[in-house]
Amino acid sequence: MVVTRFAPSPTGYLHIGGLRTALYSYLWARKNSGVFRLRIEDTDLARNSEDALKAIIEAFDWVGLSYDKEVEYQSKRTEIYKEYINKLLQSGNAYRCYMSKDELDRLRASQEANKQTPRYDGTWRPEEGKILPEIPEGIEPVIRIKAPTTGEIRFMDGVKGDIKFDASFVDDFVIARSNGMPTYNFVVTIDDMLMQMSDVIRGDDHLSNTPKQIVIYNALGVKHPNFYHVPMINNPEGKKLSKRDGAMDVMEYKRLGYLPEALLNFLVRLGWSNKDQEIFSMDEMLEFFDPKNINRSASAYNAEKLLWLNSEYIKNASNDRLEKELKFFDLDLSNCSKKEDILNLSKQRANTLIELKSSILLILNEPNSYEEAGVNKFVKEDTIEILKDYLALLERNQDSFSSIEALESLTKPFISDKGLKFPQIFQPIRLALTGSTQAPSVYDILFILGFDEVNKRVLKTLEKNFKNS
């Protein structure tokens, strides 16, 4: 059975790199009818944040990545880790080291002076025929793993292929500190072993941790899972992604008006592809995704691509869905009689839910001012008379507000008879009705507002003569 996990540390908010890793792990488990677990690696008590922890759970709920069983918290598993520390001590695969911090500092300084890679020298490592130093008073020992001293540590990475580390890369590293608290690589290994992880998909910044974890697996006599190390997401210049580039709290994307499906679609394509397909439903992701097809090179964050994807998802979202989403942005359309029409119109132009809200309010709210550049460009000496005549035509034919087609059929002969070009009437009407020249089709706006509201807004504009003061 395929079992995967996502294991964030609650020392900061969940960012998109982490969400992509979670998505890949989720897809591989669900594709294979397996298990996807969420584990919180919260052993760094000094840096843990309750707010960050809540934000991680909130982000999972928002994007709809459901996990199996209860969330596991490493901070609640300390006794389990101690049990396995003792097992390794009893089997001789780990040992107590009494080297003091000052001794370690002197050893490191000496190695650096001799241009050697700093590493533990094995002073307290038990060997056949070796006499260990006398145990010093007042020193609480750390626990070190017995790492191999010859050969190589080798594994097949599902993304990067055959990976080899010389045994000298790993020294007898600490698996439990002097206060008894186990270290990161140890607890990760124990958790993955006990949770029966079959596949570990994670960022390639963890690649250097893998040989250490394999040493622990070997010491426990347990087969290690399949590893997939995913290249990082870079900014468009190929550098580390910053908050300005998009490496922000996942929930910030919600606040900026992105739909979760669009964000997941964007992330699945950052490092993986299925031919030239750009838009994937969740069912399609599950059908086509395979971690073996993750790119070996880093991917580049593309803000324009994310906006485009989001606009496509907004266009294709049901109006009921959009109505619910807009409530998060304090826009309630439940009492709007023309909400279907206004949503159908506005969602064709919106890149984000915030833009969708703005487009809707541009129509629903009577303008308090008029776009100055538009007034200067489109309001001429004859504009007032043209609008008066057009308003009179609309008043005589109020039944034309029954459909967009009727309004169009009424307006086109008027434009032709007056010898006008479309912008000569449509842009001043847009200004009168919305205050902007960037509003949607005039026919749509007229239909949505109805004659009484159109009449009120145009008369007010004529009275003010398009002036803002």
Going by C-beta distance under 8 Å and a sequence separation of 6 or more, which residues neighbour residue 279? 265, 309, 312
Do the Cβ atoms of 194 and 171 come closer than 8 Å?
Answer: no
Q: Structural domain boundaries of the chain?
A: 3-74+233-303, 77-230, 366-464
pLDDT digits (tens, 9 = 90+) for 387-409: 999 999 999 999 999 999 999 99
Instruction: Return the higher-pLDDT residue of 54 and 330.
Output: 330
Q: What pLDDT does residue 46 have?
A: 66
Predicted confidence (pLDDT) at residue 65 exceeds the cutoff of 90 = yes
**Which one, of 358, 352, 321, 357, lies nearest residue 256 by Cα?**
352
Whether the domain at 3-74+233-303 and the domain at 366-464 fall into the same CATH topology: no
* Per annotation, catalytic residue among 243, 315, 377, 464: 243
At 58, the pLDDT band (50, 70, 90 cuts) reads very high
- DSSP-based three-state secondary structure for 161: strand
Residues with Cβ < 8 Å from 398, sequence gap 6 or more? 451
Q: What percent of the chain has pLDDT over 90?
A: 84
Q: Could you say which of 3.90.25.10, 3.40.50.300, 3.40.50.620, 1.20.140.10 is the CATH number of the domain covering 77-230?
A: 3.40.50.620
The tokens for 209 are 């941790």
Catalytic residue at 164?
no
Question: Could you report the per-residue pLDDT of 102-120, keeping only the tens digit for each?
Answer: 888 898 999 888 888 888 9
Q: Among 12-16, 169-173, 175-179, 278-282, name the one with the lowest average pLDDT.
A: 12-16
Q: Is 243 annotated for ligand binding?
A: yes
CA dist., res. 249 & res. 227, Å (int): 26
Q: What topology is assigned to 366-464 in CATH?
A: Arc Repressor Mutant, subunit A (1.10.10)
Place of tokens 């002073």: 123
Was domain 3-74+233-303 assigned CATH 3.30.750.24? no
Q: What percent of the chain has pLDDT over 70?
A: 99
Note whether 232 and 292 are within 8 A (CB). Answer: no
Mean pLDDT of 84-92: 97
pLDDT of residue 9: 87
Does the pLDDT value for residue 430 go beyond 90?
Answer: yes
Specify the pLDDT at position 239. Answer: 82
